[in-house]
Structure 1
Amino acid sequence: MGASLNTGFKKAKVQPEMNVTPLVDVVLVLLIIFMVLAPVMAKSFWVRLPPKDDKEEQLDQANDPDKPLVLSVAADGKTAINKIEVDRAELTEKLTRMFNARPDNSLYLDAADDTEYGMVLGAVDLARGAQAFPIVILTTKPE
């Protein structure tokens, strides 16, 4: 901060003056930084997204909260949710996502008559992993 003195015959008064040199230095440095970074920030990145899965869209349409959620196990071990086939590796994840859109976690289990007990028990275990409760076993074919 600088100051100047009046050198008249009157009493000397100190008049403060702002030193703007540091302010100008900072502004010029910021200007240079933004000029250097402007071309870098304008670059775009190309992102390649995986193709959309039609089963996801079908499951979203089939997940009506007013209709029951039916897990079907075929004789060969294939699983389906509301008649839409789902891999066993993805079953827990899909059921969890579907339960999040519903007010309850009730699940109806429909297994073919000639399905092995272990296959049905494995599907029930995967459904329990998705927090399905209660799991109701159907004794008649769903409509």
Structure 2
Amino acid sequence: MAFGDSSPRYQSKPAMTEINVIPLVDVMLVLLIIFMITAPLLTHSVKIDLPKASSTPSQNKTENIEFSIRADGNFYWGGESVTLEQLPTRFTEAVKQSDKTELHIRADREAHYELVAKIMSIAAKAGLARIGFVTDPNEAAVNDEE
């Protein structure tokens, strides 16, 4: 069988225009059989009786600074009203007492971000590395429903 042969016996046959799907079907059947055999092996699990253990939370009591920012710009350190000028010395004193002191910031929803950023900056300059925000998850769920 020569392609492009110009002999007269091949010129009478028309060109084959149909796709031969038999090899494709053969390959697909082989793949189907392979997947049918390997699929149950992938979901096979081994039963293991793991040991039971109980744990208690660690008693590493770290010093927390409860700091609140109201919408009107007032600051509260553990419920006590403070001014912006008092904060650098108070943060520095807290770090001197314990280097693992954490700052927990509670900010009103309407509090300006600028105030929050100033407090975080002052705390970071004083050496507080652990700064977190305290939110009320129940309040967020109520606002999502509105």
Calculate the TM-score normalised by the size of structure 1: 0.48
